[in-house]
Amino acid sequence: MTTPSQPNRIYRLALPVPLYRLFDYLIDDSIPLTQPGARIEVPFGKTVQVGILIEIATESEVKLDKLKPILRVLDHPPLLSKVDLELLHWVSRYYHYPLGEVMSLAFPKLLRDPALSTDYAEPHYQLTEAGLNLALSTLTRSRKQHAVIAFLQQHAHAVNAATLLRHTQTTPALIKQLIAKEWLVRVPPVEAQPLLSQQVLKSPILSANAEQQAAISAVSEQLGRFSVFLLEGVTGSGKTEVYMQIIQQALIQALQVLVLVPEISLTPQLEQRFRQRFNVAIAVSHSKLTDKQRGLAWLSIQQGHSQILLGTRSALFTPLKWPGLIILDEEHDVSFKQQDGLRFSARDVAVMRAKLLNIPVVLGSATPSLESLHNAFNRRYQHLQLPQRAGLAITPEMVLLDIRNKKVEQGLSQRLCEEINTTLAKREQVLLFINRRGFAPRLICHSCGWVARCKHCDANLVVHKREQALRCHHCGSRYQPVNTCPVCNAQELVPLGLGTERIEQLLTQYFPNHNIARIDQDSVQRKGALTLYLQQIQQQHIDIILGTQLLAKGHHFENVTLVALLDVDSGLFSIDFHAAERLAQLIVQVSGRAGRAEKPGKVILQTRHPEHPLLTTLLSQGYAEFARMALAERASAQLPPYSYQALLRVEANEQDKAEQFLQRIIDSAQQCAVNDVSVLGPVPAPMPRRIGFYHYQLLLQSANRTHLHFLINHLIKEINQIKASKKLRWSLDVDPIDLF
């Protein structure tokens, strides 16, 4: 034990457990001290956990002889920098989420698992003297060996495995062979060096138009300083080109760039464009990769072996060795908000990260979120605009098609069918959009009105014809098809409403000589299916594309000149105040798929409410004007961004339990000395019963963010004391994006 002359050495750790506290461990004198941010392996109950060192202390609230010693220090020096830690502390405070769990999310699984955490350093390879002097002409019989040796002979340094694999299509077995021949050796990884400027570009840049140039200059001038830019540019206006030219400036200064996109389906396209343009190592990270691949991407950025990281929301926390710039494309996209566990907004955290790192962040979109526009109007963000399409493309014509009193055969009006025919006759492609998969959203009894419902949820079952089943889209339950009404025994059960399958059936009847592709969650289940569809569309083997929101963004379809939204009305009258913004964004994004190349495009919106102000404003005056109107409405109703919200959700197996729990929270809120936070509820969630559980919620709202968070802190302490809280599930959603 310690002697009086020697202070205690205590490591205070964040552990990945759902508790709002840190844990103290002893470290004995034989272990050299490391810094906060290092991963430490410790015993925890009967398990071994990987914790993160938060601080080194000399005193503990726990008696010293009760403290356990650590097992191992995993990192010298720590993998997280001081600023990385600062950000995670902020995230934990802002989202009121346990620090240990926040910390653990910052690491890829590869580095969180004690069993995997030792040998993570990427192997590097270098030629031996013999390999260096090997005459390539002697390798003519082995093309693969030739490629590896030739590549390495051009490189003075050791090269990591990933680079070798990328440039030579070698295999681990081949590397083994070369090592056996003593031409190659495995060496420890080299300290990464910042990249030299002349190496950055692979292909020439496009010459930017005036607006693009203004945006490029504005951001480039701020490299090395914190600044938020909102880059608003219609689809096809050349935002990606702007990103690439700004990235180029950062790379020239030997800085790394983090690029976040909302969805995995968008990464291959962007990745390809980046790889064509830049002569630097590009790391990619998203949830469809293996744990190993993600871990290696994380490390290659953290250690400086890659210059660009392209990823989805979860890549946000990757430590940058030379932080230069953060870009968030499609910043309005709801996928940037995590909807379970730590419910963080990657957009908001990216802005905070840029602030702490003192670097610029660019938020790009054709349809910026109302929050970001509000910040731009307030001059907190710098507003950069690209009002025109770049190159030759022309802005599409948008038409409201009034389908009141028109014969609408299962969602396709006669006028729309004529337009489709005209487009097909010109050998151009058509994109039809409806955001509902399956055959029909309801199965109803014609004689008594009974509707098929899920046993576990307050939801109607969706008819899936191809699969011959009824399915609940909320819990995934599958039911056998029903032919007889369980209430009145009638045999007349009719599918009501429209889904993609039903429209596909109709299209096959109407356009029998054309190829139709239905693209929704069901049809792209198989791995690689989506890629195949996209290829077929690109090669024009498909004439009519029918899709859900899977298709709403990102993809370039050069030959699509007619886009139709079959049903915009379902979004017009929602109880959630976010719905109008979402619908407007969807309409604009889907429209952006039309007429991307030289051919002019047309967009048709089928509606029974052609006078609705959302539609008329959007079509006659554009998204910017819609946004101004929507913000004015939010201001007068004191809704975000003019106030701040947090939603406390609970679910329990009995209705009463959930309600009583929230009632206690309300009582506790009333004792707390803040009077400008309104507490609304408890109310049942819009769909109260889901997967057998009852969902209730409490909405906290205030114009004063500090007071709101003060109250939340108070409530979380209370929750942790309520015994009943263990019998139900609760979660807190700061800045919720829906009230579901």
**Residues of this chain that bind ligand ADP (CB under 6 A):** 206-209, 212, 233, 235-241, 390-391
Identified binder of Zn ion from the candidate list 159, 242, 420, 454, rule CB under 5 A: 454
- C-alpha span between 740 and 729 (Å, rounded): 16
Using the rule CB under 5 A, give the single segment among 338-346, 353-361, 439-447, 597-605 that binds Zn ion: 439-447
Which of ligand ADP, Zn ion, none sits in contact with 237, Cβ below 5 to 8 A by type? ligand ADP
Quote the least distance from Cβ 467 to Zn ion, whole Å: 16
Contact 349, 316 (CB under 8 A): yes
Does position 111 interact with Zn ion (CB under 5 A)? The reply is: no
Please report whether residue 637 would count as binding Zn ion according to CB under 5 A.
no
Listed residue (186, 188, 192, 146) closest to 169, CA to CA: 146
Least distance from C-beta 633 to Zn ion, angstroms? 34
Closest distance of CB 426 from ligand ADP, Å: 22
Residue span 482-521 as binding mask against Zn ion, x where in contact by CB under 5 A, dash where not: ---x-xx-x-------------------------------
Residues 342, 734: Cα–Cα separation, whole Å: 10
Size of the site for Zn ion (CB under 5 A): 14
CB nearer to ligand ADP: give 458 or 558: 558
Return the one option of Zn ion, ligand ADP, none that residue 324 interacts with (CB less than 5 to 8 A, by type): none
Instruction: Determine phi and psi for 578, rounding to 5 degrees.
Output: -80, -15
Q: Which does 310 bind (CB under 5 to 8 A by kind): Zn ion, ligand ADP, none?
A: none
Give 333-338's long-range contacts (Cβ < 8 A, gap of 24+).
333/262, 333/263, 333/365, 333/553, 334/262, 334/582, 334/737, 334/738, 335/262, 335/263, 336/260, 336/262, 337/737, 338/313
Q: What is the chain's alpha carbon radius of gyration, rounded to the nearest angstrom?
A: 29
- Phi first, then psi, for residue 428 (nearest 5°) are -110, 165
CB of residue 340 to Zn ion, shortest distance in Å: 17
206 contact choice in ligand ADP, Zn ion, none (CB below 5 to 8 Å, kind-dependent): ligand ADP
Closer residue to ligand ADP, CB minimum distance, 157 or 202: 202
Is residue 475 within the footprint of Zn ion (CB under 5 A)? yes
Binding flag, residue 457, Zn ion (CB under 5 A): yes
Residue span binding Zn ion (CB under 5 A) among the ranges 66-74, 342-350, 480-488, 618-626: 480-488
Q: Does 448 participate in binding Zn ion (rule CB under 5 A)?
A: yes
In the complex with ligand ADP, which residue's Cβ is closer, 209 or 385? 209
Question: Which residue, 270 or 583, has its beta carbon nearer to ligand ADP?
Answer: 270
Smaller CB distance to Zn ion: residue 477 or 536?
A: 477
Q: Quick one: which of 450, 479, 510, 577 contacts Zn ion (CB under 5 A)?
A: 450
Q: No. of H helices and E strands in the chain?
A: 20, 32
Count how many Cα atoms sit within 13 Å of the Cα of residue 59 in the half-sphere of its side chain. 1
Q: Closest approach of Cβ 548 to ligand ADP, in Å?
A: 21
Nearer to ligand ADP, 589 or 668 (CB): 589
Residue 130 interacts with, from ligand ADP, Zn ion, none (CB under 5-8 Å by kind):
none
494 burial type by CB count under 10 A (0-12 exposed, 13-18 middle, 19+ buried): exposed
CA distances from 351 to 175, 325, 327, 372, 660 (A): 43, 11, 10, 11, 38
Which H or E run contains 693? strand 693-702
Please report the DSSP string for 28-68 in residue order: -TTSPP--TT-EEEEEETTEEEEEEEEEEES--SS-GGGPP
Neighbours of 546 (CB within 10 A): 25
Which DSSP state fits 517?
E
User: How do beta strands 469-471 and 308-311 pair?
Assistant: unpaired
Task: Report which secondary-structure segment, H or E, holds 644.
Answer: strand 644-652
Closer of 390 and 647 to ligand ADP (Cβ) = 390
Residue among 10, 234, 328, 445 that touches Zn ion (CB under 5 A): 445
Answer with the entry of Zn ion, ligand ADP, none that 212 interacts with (C-beta below 5 to 8 A by kind).
ligand ADP
E strands, 359-485, are: 360-365, 382-386, 397-402, 408-409, 412-413, 429-433, 442-445, 462-464, 469-471, 478-479
Among 96, 456, 582, 729, contact with Zn ion (rule: CB under 5 A): 456
235 versus 285: smaller Cβ distance to ligand ADP: 235
Tell me which residue of 259, 246, 256, 260 sits closest to 321, measured CA to CA: 256
Q: Which does 487 bind (CB under 5 to 8 A by kind): Zn ion, ligand ADP, none?
A: Zn ion
Instruction: In angstroms, give the least distance from the CB of 587 to ligand ADP.
Output: 17
Q: Using H for helix, E for strand and C for coil, what is the string for 94-115?
A: HCCCCHHHHHHHHCCHHHHCCC
* Shortest reach from residue 574's CB to Zn ion, in Å: 21
* Cβ contact 515:488 at 8 Å: no
429, amino acid identity: Q
CA distance 486 to 451: 10
User: Which CB sits closer to ligand ADP, 209 or 549?
Assistant: 209
User: Considering the complex, what minimum distance in angstroms separates the CB of residue 609 from Zn ion?
Assistant: 30
- CA 377, distance to chain mean position in Å, is 26
Q: Binding of Zn ion at residue 472 (CB under 5 A)?
A: yes
19: partner contacted, choices ligand ADP, Zn ion, none (Cβ within 5-8 A by kind): none
273 binds Zn ion (CB under 5 A): no
We find the least distance from the C-beta atom of residue 148 to ligand ADP, in angstroms, to be 35
444 contacts Zn ion (rule: CB under 5 A)? no
Q: Which is nearer to ligand ADP, 238 or 736 (CB)?
A: 238
Q: Which runs of E-coded beta strand occur in 499-583?
A: 516-519, 544-547, 560-565
Indicate the residue among 187 and 490 with the shorter CB distance to Zn ion: 490
Q: Are 715 and 648 in contact (CB under 8 A)?
A: yes
The backbone torsions φ and ψ at residue 89, rounded to the nearest 5 degrees and listed phi first, read: -60, -45
Q: Which residues bind Zn ion (CB under 5 A)?
A: 445, 448, 450, 454, 456-457, 472, 474-475, 477, 485, 487-488, 490
